A and B are shown apart, each in its own frame.
Chain A
Amino acid sequence: MGGQKNSFLRESFLNELGPVVSVPELEELRVRYLGKKGLLTAELKNLGGLPPDQRRTAGAALNETKEFIEHALGQRKQELKDLELSRKLASEGIDVTLPGSYVPPGRVHPVTQTLEEITDVFVSMGFSVEEGPEVELDYYNFEALNIPKEHPAREMQDTFYVSKDVVLRTHTSPVQVRVMQRKSPPLKFIAPGKVYRCDADISHTPMFHQIEGLMVGEDITFSNLKSVLETFLHRIFSPDVPVRFRPSYFPFTEPSAEVDIGCIFCKGTGCRTCKGSGWIEILGAGMVNPHVFEMVGYDPKQYSGFAFGMGIERITMLKFSIDDIRLFFENDIRFLGQF
C-alpha cells in the first residue's frame, strides 16, 4: 500500500511540476506537498497511526519521496532563476557599436617625436642630455667655436641679432662650449633644442630644431666618430641603410665630415629627394678643433673628441615622407593627427 502511495505522490508532483514557469508558482507547489498541511506532510503525520514495524518502512519510503520532491524543486528553482536572469540580461542589451566614452588622446608633434627618438638612441649609448640658452652670446655662438667676427663662415648662417653681442643661437653648438667650461673630461652628451636663422623660403624656416653631440676623452678617434654615428643612423633609419662620410668644413671641427645616408626613397638609384645623387646629407660632424679646446682650457695634446650636429626637421621629413617643412609650424590638426 505504502509503495503505491509514494509512487502516486511522485507522479502527481511531477505532473504538477511540469507546467510551473515561475518562482511563486513553484513555491505554491512546495507548500502543497511539503507545507504544514501539505500532502506529503499529511502522510508523514499519518505514520503515527501505523504499527511500529510498518511505520519504519513506510517512514523511510516517505522520506525518500520527500527528498525526491525537494531535489526536483531545487533543480527547477535554479532553472527558473537562470531563465529569469537571462531574460533580464537580454532586456538590458545595448548597442555595442556606439562609441566608447574616453578622452581621445592628442598627438605629440612629429618633430618632438623624432627629437625624443634620437635622444633615446644616444642615451642608450651612454650620452647624457644638456641644455643651453636660446638667446646666446655672440662669444659662445661664434667666437669660442673658432668663428671670429668677419670670418667667412659666418655667412653660412644668417644670424638674428638682439644686440651687438647677443644673438639667437644659430646652432646648438654653443652648448658644447658652455658644458666644457663647466665640466672636465671625459664628456659624452647631446644637446637638443631650437635654433634660429634669418632665412625663410620654401625649404627654410627661421626657427628649427637641432641636436648637437660631443664626446671628449683621452683616446677619442675619428674611427669612434664614424662608429657612433653609423650606429645611430642604423637605429633611426634601418640597419642596412648605407652611410658615407665625406670631408667638409666647420670652423669648430678638424677633420670635418658631412655624413650622408643612401637615399631611403630610391635606394640609391637617384630620385627627386636625393637630387639624383642617391645620397641624402643627414648630419655634420668632425673631430673637435684644438682651438676650441684651448678656448675652454682643455689641453689638446691630452684630449681629443668628436662633435656632431643634425637638423631634426629634415630627419623627420625623411622618416614620415613629409615634403614641406612649413607644415611643421602651421599646427593643422589634420596634419598633427597623423603621427
Chain B
Amino acid sequence: MRVSFAWLSEFIKTGLSVEKAAHLLTMCGLEVEALEAAQNDVIMEVNVTPNRADCLSILGVVRELSVLIGAPIVLPPAEITVKEVKTGPAEIKIEIRNEDLCRRYSGRVIRNVSIGPSPEWMARRLEDYGIRSINNIVDITNYVLIELGHPLHAFDLNTLKGGRIVVDTADNIYRHIKTLDGVERKLHESALVIADAEGPVALAGIMGGASTEVEESTTDIFLEAAWFEPVNIRKTAKALGLSSEAAYRFERGADMEIIPYALDRASYLMQELAGGRPQEAVDVFPWKKAMPRSIDVGAGRVSKLLGTDIQKEEIVRILERLGFAPRWNDSVITVFPPSYRQDVEGEADIVEEVARIYGYDKIPTTLPASRLSIQDAPTRRNFVKAARQSIRKSGYSEAVNFSFMNPQVLDQLFLPVNDLRRSAVSLINPLKQEESMLRTTLLPALMENLKHNQQRDIRNIMLAETSKVFIEGKEGELPGEHLMLSGISMLNKTYSFWRNGKDEFYTAKGAVEALLDEFRVCDRTFFGPCKEPFLHPGKSADVIVSGRRCGFVGILSPTVREKAEIKGKEEITVFELNLDIIFECLPQTPVYHPVPRFPAVERDIALVLDEAVSATEVISRIKDYPSKLIESAAVFDLYKGEGIPAGKKSMAFNVRYRAQDRTLTEEEVEQVHEGLIKDLLIHTGGSLR
C-alpha cells in the first residue's frame, strides 16, 4: 500500500525522519519496500501481509508507529451538524436478510450535495495513492477508505426505489447487475447484493451498480458503511474476476467498530466540501451482542517459546500499547484484542505480537540443545549424487529444464498409443499450450537444449539431466513420480586432436557403463535392437539391470531429427535411465573372495563370424563353457575389410584360465582351450582366422 508520509504526520507527531519511520515499520512487520519522492511529500511503499487488514490505511500504519514510539494518535475531525431537511424521499429502511454475511449495516442520507471537482489537495492524495479523482462525493468515500481503511459507498438517493435497502444473497431472485464499470454481470446464488425495492443496486463490498451511481445531477445521496463477511466477498470477487479497493479490504477482514466514525468522517467531509446536509444515521448491528473476544496466555509461555527472558511487566506494557487491554495474575495474562485485530486468534499470535514489538533483533541466538536422534542413512541421496557425478565425469554437463512438456512431442517421438509415456498429467491452467503437460520423458527437453546450443554455433554438446517424470496414476491417486537420468550428445570431432573412428553409440554406452560400474552393478546387459521408435534400429539397445529394463541408449533416428529440425551431420546419441530401478537393483555389500594365489594363463582366439553375431553372444558362450578353469573372457579386437569376406567380421577374444589350488600346466590349458574353440566354432558358425 502506498502511504503518504505527510498525511500520516497529520495523525501523529513522530519527530522521526521518513527513513527512520520506514526502518521502524520494517522491523515490526510492515515492510517498507521503497520510498518515493512526491510533491512536498514522500510516499512509502508498504508491503502489508494478508493477515494485517488493519494496516491497509493511514490510520493502521499510524497505530503501528504509535505502539512503537508511544506517541498519541490525533484522529481527523468528524463533527457533523444534523439539520433535518423535509423534502425528498422518506428515510431509508434497512433490512439485513443474511446476518452472518452482513453483520453490521449503517447508512445516512446526505441532502443538498453539490457535485463538483474535489479540492486539489484531496485529488492529489488520491492520485498519489493510485486512485483517479472522479467527483467530490466519490472521492470522499475513497479518501476515507485510504485514511481509515473502511470502504464506503454512496448511492444517488433519488434512484433508490421504494426507500429501502435489502442486504441478501442473490439466490435466484437477483440474477443480473450492471456494475459501475458498465459491465452487465450474472450473479451466482451466494453473491451478496444490496437491493432496493425493485432489484440489486450494488454488489455488496465489491462495486456499486450503474443505476444508482452518483452523477453531475445528483443532489441527495445515501452513504453506506457496512461489514461484509470476507470469504463470501472473496468468492464473489473471484467468480466475477472483479477486484476493487473495497473488496481487497473486506476479503481480508474489515473493522466492525470503526463504522460509525468512518460514516461521520465521510459525512463531515461532504458537509465541508460539498455543502451536504447529513441526516440522522441508521445503524443495524445484529452482531453487536457478540462477546468481546478474550485470549489467555500462560505467563511463562512467551519467554519459553521465544527462548529469552522477557519480564512480565514488559509483556504487559507491549500489550497495553497494542490496545489489547491485558489483565493478569501470577499464571495467566488475559487479553482482549481490539476489533480491528481479527487476525489475533490464539496464544501464538500474542507471542508474535510481543516479539515483533519487543524486537526480533533483541532475541538472542542459542543453538538448540538437541538430543541425539537417529536419522535414516542418506543412501538414496548419495546414490543420486554419485550418479550425477559419474555422468559428469563422462563429459556431460548438467541441464535443468522445466517439468512441462508440449503434448506434440509424444507424436514427434512416434510413441505408440499404448506407450506409458502417453499417460501424461495435464494442467488445467498452463501458462501456454507448449507447457500444458508434465514430462513423461526428459528427452524432448534435451533435444531442445541441443538445438539452442547448436544455433549458437556450439560444436560439442553433451548434456544430461536428472529429474522426475510424471505418469498419470489411477483414479484418485497422485501420479507416479520417477527419477530419470537422461543424456544427449552431439560431437563434432573434426577439430578434436584425438578423434578416433569408433561409432558415436559407444560414447553414450560408455557413459552408462561407467555409471553402472560406479555402483558395481555387474548384472547388466545391453540388448539390441531396442524397440524405441525414435532410435536408430541398428544402433540402439535396451539397458537391462538384474533382469529389469531400466532404460535405453542409442542414436537418434534420422526421421526424429528431421521432425525436430535438428541440423548437422554428426550422429546424436541419447540415453535415458530410470534411477529408481537402478537404485532398487544396487548390489548388496560385497562378500570377499580370496585373491588368486596361482598364476593365470591367457589364450587368444580370433574368429571370423557373421556380422550379426554379437560380442556378448560369444562371451556368454565362453563363460557358459563347462570348465571351472575359465576365469574371464573379453573382446579385444574387431576387424572388417581386407582378408575378411563381405558380411563377415573378425573378432578377437582373450580368455584367462586359472585354478584356485595349483599352477596350471600347459597341457591342461591346451586341452580345455581346444575344446572351447571347437564349441565356439559349432555354436557361432564361425571359423578360426
Question: Which residues on A are within 8 Å of B, measured CB to CB?
Answer: 98-99, 101, 103-109, 111-112, 116, 119, 123, 126, 128-129, 133-137, 150-153, 155-156, 160-163, 166, 168, 186-189, 194, 196, 198, 200, 205-207, 215, 217, 219-224, 226-228, 230-231, 244-249, 251, 254-258, 275-276, 287, 289-290, 304, 328-334, 336-337
Q: Which of B64-103 contact A (CB under 8 A)?
A: none
Report the Cα distance A123→B252, complex, angstroms.
40
Taking the closest CB of chain B, its distance from the CB of A268, in whole angstroms, is 13
Does B231 sit at the interface, judged by CB under 8 A? yes
Q: Contacts A103-B393, A290-B346: A331 and B400 contacting too (C-beta < 8 A)?
A: yes
Does B38 sit at the interface, judged by CB under 8 A? no
- On chain A, the residues within 8 Å of B403 by CB distance are 134, 168, 194, 196, 207
Does B242 sit at the interface, judged by CB under 8 A? no
Q: Which of B465-512 contact A (CB under 8 A)?
A: 467-468, 470, 478-479, 481, 497-498
Q: Contacts A224-B307, A329-B402: A255 and B352 contacting too (C-beta < 8 A)?
A: yes
- On chain B, the residues within 8 Å of A255 by CB distance are 306, 348, 351-352, 355-356
Does B375 sit at the interface, judged by CB under 8 A? yes
Report the Cα distance A189→B370, complex, angstroms.
13
Are the C-beta atoms of B435 and A206 separated by less than 8 Å? yes
Are the C-beta atoms of A137 and B431 separated by less than 8 Å? no
Report the Cα distance A12→B462, complex, angstroms.
74
In this complex, the interface size class of chain B, counting residues with CB under 8 Å from chain A, is: 35 or more
Report the Cα distance A103→B396, complex, angstroms.
10
Taking the closest CB of chain B, its distance from the CB of A23, in whole angstroms, is 35
Interface residues of A, dominant DSSP: mixed
Report the Cα distance A330→B456, complex, angstroms.
12
Report the Cα distance A228→B29, complex, angstroms.
21
Are the C-beta atoms of A135 and B470 separated by less than 8 Å? yes
Choose from A135, A221, A290 the contact partner of B306 (Cβ within 8 Å). Answer: A221
Are the C-beta atoms of B395 and A104 separated by less than 8 Å? yes
Does B458 sit at the interface, judged by CB under 8 A? yes
Report the Cα distance A217→B373, complex, angstroms.
11
Interface centre among A112, A228, A255 (most CB of B within 10 A): A255
Does B172 sit at the interface, judged by CB under 8 A? no
Report the Cα distance A219→B303, complex, angstroms.
11
Are the C-beta atoms of A337 and B361 separated by less than 8 Å? no
Are the C-beta atoms of B427 and A106 separated by less than 8 Å? no
Does B425 sit at the interface, judged by CB under 8 A? yes
Does B428 sit at the interface, judged by CB under 8 A? yes
Residue of B with least CB distance to A199: B431
- On chain A, the residues within 8 Å of B305 by CB distance are 221-222, 287, 304
Are the C-beta atoms of B347 and A231 separated by less than 8 Å? no
Report the Cα distance A261→B9, complex, angstroms.
31
- On chain B, the residues within 8 Å of A107 by CB distance are 392, 397-398
Are the C-beta atoms of A162 and B425 separated by less than 8 Å? yes
Q: Which 8 A-B pairs have the closest CB atoms?
A: A221-B307, A223-B307, A247-B29, A249-B49, A255-B352, A106-B397, A247-B356, A227-B365
Are the C-beta atoms of A103 and B307 separated by less than 8 Å? no
Taking the closest CB of chain B, its distance from the CB of A142, in whole angstroms, is 13
Task: Give 16 A-B contacts (CB < 8 Å), ordered by A residue.
Answer: A109-B400, A162-B425, A166-B478, A221-B308, A222-B307, A222-B308, A223-B308, A226-B363, A228-B367, A231-B367, A254-B352, A255-B356, A275-B34, A290-B346, A329-B401, A332-B453
Does B464 sit at the interface, judged by CB under 8 A? yes
Taking the closest CB of chain A, its distance from the CB of B243, in whole angstroms, is 10
Q: Contacts A109-B399, A223-B365: A161 and B34 contacting too (C-beta < 8 A)?
A: no
Does B438 sit at the interface, judged by CB under 8 A? yes
Are the C-beta atoms of A128 and B376 separated by less than 8 Å? yes
Taking the closest CB of chain B, its distance from the CB of A38, in whole angstroms, is 44
Report the Cα distance A331→B430, complex, angstroms.
22
Residue of B with least CB distance to A246: B27
Does B28 sit at the interface, judged by CB under 8 A? yes
Report the Cα distance A230→B363, complex, angstroms.
13
Q: Contacts A152-B234, A223-B363, A249-B49: A334 and B478 contacting too (C-beta < 8 A)?
A: no
- On chain B, the residues within 8 Å of A251 by CB distance are 51
Does B452 sit at the interface, judged by CB under 8 A? yes
Does B182 sit at the interface, judged by CB under 8 A? no
Report the Cα distance A251→B50, complex, angstroms.
9
Are the C-beta atoms of B364 and A160 separated by less than 8 Å? no
Does B594 sit at the interface, judged by CB under 8 A? no
Residue of A with least CB distance to B389: A108
